[in-house]
Amino acid sequence: MGSGMAAEHTGLERNMESRHLTMISLGGVIGTGLFVSSGYTIHQAGPLGAILAYAIGSLLVYCVMLSLGELSVAMPYAGSFHLYTKRFIGPGSAFTVAILYWLNWAVALASEFTAAGLLMQRWFPHSPAWVWSAILIGAVFIMNILSVRLYGEAEFWFSSIKVFAIVAFIVVGILAITGIIPIAGYEHAPLLTNFYNEGLFPNGIIPIFSTMLTVVFAFSGTEVVGVAAGETKDPEVAVPKAVRTTVLRLTIFFIGSIGVMAALIPWHQSGVDESPFVLVFQSIGMPFAGDIMNFVVLTAVLSAANSGLYVCSRMVWALGKERMLPAALAKTNFHGVPVYAVMVSMAGSLLALLSSVVAASTVYLALVAVSGLATLVVWLSVSACHILFRSELKRGGKPVEKLGYRAPGYPLVPIASIVLCILALVLVVLDPAQRSTLYYMIPFVGLCYAFYYGREAWRKKHSTEIDAAQ
């Protein structure tokens, strides 16, 4: 089933291996959200509340990844989400999902480029941030334009540095919690006293759910596995392995890190002013803790930018292949890299970067709002397509046993992810700080549908006129 369907979407080369696929998925997720913003989650929800919020987020990611794993092995398209949506839901919805997801990563790219410039100023305080941003932009562009294997290899090493830092943090943290190594502010082993000495939920139950939205967005990027499946050797083996290892590692890394932070830093001292990683390393007297974590966070930013440009370009390539955008965007070079699609995606991110400087309170605010909910829309579409895919198999009398990979727990898995995604959208409505995102999101979605069907009507009319003239 996989090979026949993949043949429709050739042009890209299958040069990535299983280790690349796993690290790409980790690379898209583990970024400034974990290294910097995780302290905010603990501050809002409390120690136990933060762990519960990340546990619920992990469950949602696991369900979505299982559905995506089955679809990606059966139909290993590059830029998969909207192609599944086109087949099982409709072309207008497919176009909208692709544009939303592209915009999500384009805006994320702009913020990563900005963050990189600011991070470099720690070491070069008198240099302008834009110079470093420009250098990073050039480096990421070159890595994506040369070959998919170079991109995969770069992402593997970027992600490896982040993974090593997190593992070191968890190990050092456990040694400090148990009193094996001393930590500032404690005369004896802190153990788990910070979890209960001010009550299990010091701010109540509600913040667990309000921060869950932040957690869902922190996990966005795991679905990159589905985009990269079309450029992976042996997707039947690589994709299921990446799904299993990615979700397991993310759960250990996120919940493990949050657990260590919550045990060592009193919840009311956590925030976003300084990375909780830096606070812990400094507390145990680690030399150059700030500089080391600055390097790790810079690597995380590079990794996220690398993944972002890759995903953006594959979405544009796939839209060109389906003639939803100009067909020239689907052309690839002799290395199988969609050069024009990479250029368009980089241009989109640079425009978003420009708007963050020139019109931060209007244009950029609207872009961030629209892109913020894109992940939930993609996850919903993946789960819905999984259910519709199985229904199609049943109608065609094809046995499920012949699938290269079957998601365990069907139909509970896609149903659970749909329910959790809808719950997250309800939280957007209930949270006054997040509600404004819907005011931008709903009209933008309407515009995407209007553009797609308006253009299709124009094409149909134009082709009819040409036929009549001939």
pLDDT in tens, 320-330: 888 888 888 88
Give the N- to C-terminal CA distance of the chain in Å, as an integer. 41
What is the per-residue pLDDT across 233-286, written as a single tens digit (0 to 9) for each? Answer: 777 777 777 777 777 887 888 888 888 888 887 766 665 556 777 778 887 888
CA distance 367 to 353: 11
Cα gap 56→346, rounded to integer Å: 34
Q: Is-contact 426 212, C-beta < 8 A?
A: no
The mean pLDDT of 148-153, rounded to a whole number, is: 74
Stretch 96-100: mean pLDDT? 91
Q: What is the pLDDT of residues 60-86, one digit of tens each?
A: 988 998 998 888 888 877 656 788 899
**pLDDT mean over 97-117:** 86
Mean pLDDT of 34-43: 75
Token pair for 20: 């690349």
Would the pLDDT of 54 be above 80?
Answer: yes
Where residue 8 falls among pLDDT bands split at 50, 70, 90? very low
pLDDT of 467 reads 65
Q: Is 16 helix (H, G, I), strand (E, B) or coil?
A: strand
Instruction: Provide the β-strand partners of residue 232.
Output: 16
Indicate the residue type of 249. R
Q: What's the CA gap between 64 and 250, in Å, rounded?
A: 14
Q: State yes or no: pLDDT of 25 exceeds 90.
A: no
What are the structural domains, with CATH classification, of the chain? 2-456 (1.20.1740.10)
Give the C-alpha separation, 5 to 331, whole Å: 19
CA 95: distance to chain centroid?
A: 19
Q: Residue 449's pLDDT is what?
A: 94
Q: How many CB atoms lie within 10 A of CB 427?
A: 16
Q: In percent, how much of the chain has pLDDT > 70?
A: 87
pLDDT of residue 11: 56
- Residue in 333, 316, 334 with CA at minimum distance from that of residue 325: 316
Q: What is the pLDDT of residue 35?
A: 73
pLDDT of residue 93: 93
- CA neighbor of 250 nearest in space, from 452, 35, 58: 58
- pLDDT, tens only, 410-454: 899 999 999 998 988 888 787 777 777 888 888 999 999 999 999
Q: What are phi and psi of 323, to 5 degrees?
A: 60, 25
Nearest 5 degrees, angle CA 156-CA 161-CA 165? 145
| Class of residue 410 by CB neighbours under 10 A (exposed 0-12, middle 13-18, buried 19+) | middle
